[in-house]
Amino acid sequence: MEVLADIGEIRQRVLALRESGRRVGLVPTMGALHAGHRSLIEAAKARCDDVVVSIFVNPTQFGPGEDADRYPRTMDADLAVCRNTGVELVFLPSVEEMYANGATTSLRIGGLTEGLCGPHRPGHFEGVATVVTKLFNIVPADEAYFGEKDYQQLKVIQRMVRDFHIPIDIIPCPTVREPDGLAMSSRNVYLSPSERVQAGSLSQALRHAVARAGHGETDCRRLIDEATRHIEQAGPVRIDYVSIVNAESLEPMSVLDRPARMCLAVRIGACRLIDNMPLGA
Ligand code: AMP
């Protein structure tokens, strides 16, 4: 496994691999790798000849009051995960390398970013879209792997690739969960033991909604109210949103009459958790 920090170098390596007929998969991450990231790498290994993992804590996607410096960093363990999963190349750039020469260009995705996390994290998706576009230009892979855990992010990236004719296939991967259902996240380390127990209520609320929808409930308001109540009963929280949205447009729905997603964002202590599950058809 090779670890590269230089944009020119990694691009040359990936271009050479592609020219020799090899299929290259890219897994973009912010490090602090866990089993969720590992599942993306394994999915890429299964379909591609060579896998590139990028590890970059992108400062431009942290909103006001969010501290990129506090984001967990576990570089040695991350490199061990990459080595153990058979990754060929790790791209590990510095902030200066990624945002050289006072870079001022950024990418705004309309529509999809107006709801859900958008209003709660101003500038977040612009930062994500910008850094992912940069990564796609730096690592010209055949495919890039993203988790459904960050469902709005996945939809934003799919739209961006479509709108900008970026020649890369986006491969969505299912959410990996802890035994109690909590979606794995690098931020879960911020939870105290009691908050960690409480955090199980998020996936329970989602699973309850999936079951109710499966038994024919189509009233979104009722499903949202039930999920909200379940989360609030588990302990002190600040709910940013519990929403049911069209699975493609991310527009809010009132009746479950097409493929939908229940999405939620909840603050427990110092930790902001997001999760989602598909509902209905
Ligand atoms: P992050 O390092 O949190 O920016 O995540 C990097 C990639 O891993 C993103 O595509 C995430 O959606 C994905 N990811 C994070 N957590 C999980 C999880 N629990 N299951 C599946 N994918 C995940």
Predicted confidence pLDDT, tens digits, the chain (281 residues): 999 999 999 999 999 999 999 999 999 999 999 999 999 999 999 999 999 999 999 999 998 888 899 999 999 999 999 999 999 999 999 999 999 988 889 999 989 999 999 999 999 999 999 999 999 999 999 999 999 999 999 999 999 999 999 999 999 999 999 999 999 999 999 999 999 999 999 999 999 999 999 999 999 999 999 999 999 999 999 999 999 999 999 999 999 999 999 999 999 999 999 999 999 76
Task: Please confirm, yes or no, whether 37 is among the known catalytic residues.
Answer: yes
From the alpha carbon of 185, which atom of ligand 1 is closest? 16
Cβ pair 9, 33 in contact under 8 A = no
DSSP state of 266: E
In 3D space, the residue among 250, 249, 242, 245 whose CA is nearest the CA of residue 226 turns out to be 242
Find out whether the beta carbon of 29 lies less than 6 Å from any atom of ligand 1: yes
Rg (CA), the chain: 19
Q: How far apart are the first and last CA of the chain?
A: 43
CA–centroid distance, residue 37 to ligand 1 (Å) = 6
CA–centroid distance, residue 175 to ligand 1 (Å) = 8
Find out whether the beta carbon of 60 lies less than 6 Å from any atom of ligand 1: no
Find out whether the beta carbon of 173 lies less than 6 Å from any atom of ligand 1: yes
pTM: 0.97
User: Ligand 1: which of 29, 30, 37 to mutate, judged by most atoms within 8 Å of the beta carbon?
Assistant: 37
